[in-house]
Amino acid sequence: TWRLGDFAEETINRIREQVGSDRVICGLSGGVDSSVVAALLARAIGPQLSCILVDNGLLRKDEERAVVEEFSTHFKTDLHVVKGEDRFLAQLAGIVDPQEKRRRIGHEFINCFKEEADKIEDAKYLAQGTLYPDVIESGASADGPADTIKLHHNVGGLPEELGFDLIEPLRDLFKDEVRQLGLQLGLPEEIVWRHPFPGPGLAVRCLGEVTRDKLEMLREADAIVVGEIKAAGLYRSTSQAFAVLLPVQSVGVMGDSRTYDNAVCVRCVNTDDFMTADWSHLPHDLLSRISTRIINEVKGVNRVVYDISSKPPATIEWE
Ligand code: XMP
């Protein structure tokens, strides 16, 4: 049996008072923040909650499954999954510029979300997983360069034009507090400890044009990176670990024949605040297993490289 801490209990009471008998929509992204918001709301006002998960086709392997399972079986919320893969891929066809990719994904996300939200009658509130660092960052970057380095797009960034009143129960919390809260609320470790993932998803890790085939390669390679790091017991001591599909082919040999295939970069960083980061000094035998498995198991990849750049001057993501 779980016991709620004071914060959870007070927040649940506050949500009940604020919402009354109205309906709340909550966007689920697959990440920890939106899952914790949904879990809080499920406890507070269960039957008045509707969740929307936009599957943009750019999620990590098994990411949607875990969240759908949690919120349809455990919390039993009214869950709307928007199958948007085709629409997002159509928007991304032929687009190479990273900012344009982000812009199109953000735009399509809002379209998908809005269409689904319109089907939910009597919704008055929108719940978002805005954290304290987001509050500070958006204030600080209003006229600074921070938000022009990369256009950010989040579930937590739906525009006011949707016409809902906002509920942001995590506004005073840091990430580690959100994780503790998630555990108290009974969310599984798989969701609670998941590394952060950018809103534009695998699109910014699939360099150059995004296609279904490239996403498939990237998704498999990424699952190997994460799986091996977990198996080595290092997932929680690294901040982010993932694969990037490079827009490069190189020559290799396979048996008696020559290959000319894709290269995957493994990116793994340690950071406290994601503003600066050091590349993770992973054990060589782990890197070796990751490389061997990707090359053996992911068709179309014949080379794996490890990113040893720190932030700054490199960023964590490649786009
Ligand atoms: P960079 O690449 O700028 O990333 O060093 C810093 C952190 O932000 C994440 N990131 C995003 N998160 N929407 C998000 O929600 C985005 O558009 C986005 N872009 C980058 C990145 O994964 C890292 O944790």
pLDDT tens sequence across 262-272: 999 999 999 99
pLDDT tens profile 221-257: 999 999 999 999 999 999 999 999 999 999 999 899 9
Average pLDDT over residues 166-180: 95
**Residue 4: per-residue pLDDT:** 67
How far does the centroid of ligand 1 lie from the alpha carbon of residue 16, in Å?
Answer: 33
Q: What's the gap in Å between 101 CA and the centre of ligand 1?
A: 14
pLDDT at residue 134 tops 90: no
| Chain segment 6-65, per-residue pLDDT in tens | 999 999 999 999 999 999 999 999 899 999 999 999 999 999 999 999 999 999 998 999
pLDDT at 147: 47
Q: Is 30 annotated for ligand binding?
A: yes
Residue nearest to atom 18 of ligand 1 (CA): 198
pLDDT given at position 152: 58
* pLDDT tens-digit series, residues 188-227: 999 999 999 999 999 999 999 999 999 999 999 999 999 9
For residue 220, the CA-to-ligand 1 centroid distance in Å is: 21
Determine the atom of ligand 1 nearest the C-alpha atom of 311: 5
DSSP line for the chain? -----HHHHHHHHHHHHHHTT-EEEEEE-SSHHHHHHHHHHHHHHGGGEEEEEEE-S-PPTTHHHHHHHIIIIIS--EEEEEE-HHHHHHHHTT---HHHHHHHHHHHHHHHHHHHHHHSTTEEEEE----HHHHHHHHHTSSSSHHHHS----GGG--GGG-PEEE-TTTT--HHHHHHHHHHTT--HHHHTPPP--TTGGGGGB-SS--HHHHHHHHHHHHHHHHHHHHTT-STTSSEEEEEEEEEEEEEEETTEEEEEEEEEEEEEE-SSSSSBEE----HHHHHHHHHHHHHHSTTEEEEEE----BTTS-SS--
pLDDT digits (tens, 9 = 90+) for 77-118: 999 999 999 999 999 999 999 999 999 999 999 999 999 999
Note the pLDDT of residue 124.
97
- Write the residue with the smallest CA distance to atom 7 of ligand 1: 274
Which residue has the least CA distance to atom 12 on ligand 1? 198
| Distance of CA 230 from the midpoint of ligand 1 (Å) | 22
pLDDT classification of 161: cutoffs 50, 70, 90: confident
Is pLDDT above 60 for 156?
no
Which residue ranges have their beta carbon within 6 Å of ligand 1?
A: 150, 152-154, 196, 198-200, 240, 274, 311, 315-317
| Mean pLDDT, the chain, integer | 93
Confidence of residue 162 (pLDDT cuts 50, 70, 90): confident
pLDDT at 154 over 60: no
Predicted confidence at residue 148, as pLDDT, reads 53
Spell out the domains of the chain, with CATH numbers in brackets.
6-192 (3.40.50.620), 211-306 (3.30.300.10)
pTM here is 0.92
